[in-house]
Amino acid sequence: MALPEMRREERRIKKDWNDSIGESAPMSRKVDCPVCKKDETIKLFGKQGCTFVQCTNDGLAYIHPQPGPKKLQEVYDTYGREFFLSLDR
């Protein structure tokens, strides 16, 4: 799937998700650093709707807030086979 098609599909998934569970349902969850468990970060950058932060204690970079389990499953179901099982990679 080409990048423009993936973006259209992503927008469709977000709309379907919001229509099915309502706008107020959380699609993400706040987490502390997975390594040191502290909440001391600086923002690095944003990409494809995600914010990447870096822990100022141990240097780990991660997405914050992180997608919840239902959202992760939806993404894996949509893109997982193509991304992880592609022979082109």
Tell me how far apart the terminal alpha carbons of the chain are, to the nearest angstrom: 14
| pTM > 0.95 | no
Residue range 21-68, pLDDT digits in tens: 444 444 577 889 999 999 999 999 998 778 999 999 999 999 998 888
Residues 58-80 as b/e (b if ≥16 CB within 10 A, e otherwise) read eeeebebeebeeebeebeeebee
